[in-house]
Amino acid sequence: MQKKNNKSEKLFYSIGEVASMFDVNTSLIRYWETEFDIIKPKKNKKGNRLFTAKDIENFHLIWHLVKERGMTLNGAKKKLKDNRNETENNFELIKKLEEIKSVLNEIKNEL
pLDDT digits (tens, 9 = 90+) for 31-75: 999 999 889 899 999 989 999 999 999 999 999 899 988 999 999
Share above pLDDT 70 across residues of the chain, in percent, rounded to a whole number = 93
Domain extents in the chain: 13-83
Burial profile 63-85: b = 16 or more Cβ within 10 angstroms, e = fewer: bbbbeeeebeeeebbebbeeeee
Task: Please classify residue 61 by burial: count the beta carbons closer than 10 Å to its beta carbon, then call 0-12 exposed, 13-18 middle and 19+ buried.
Answer: buried
The pLDDT score that the predictor gives to residue 8 is 57
Fold held by 13-83: Multidrug-efflux Transporter Regulator; Chain: A; Domain 2 (1.10.1660)
pTM strictly above 0.85: no
Task: Please classify residue 86 by burial: count the beta carbons closer than 10 Å to its beta carbon, then call 0-12 exposed, 13-18 middle and 19+ buried.
Answer: exposed
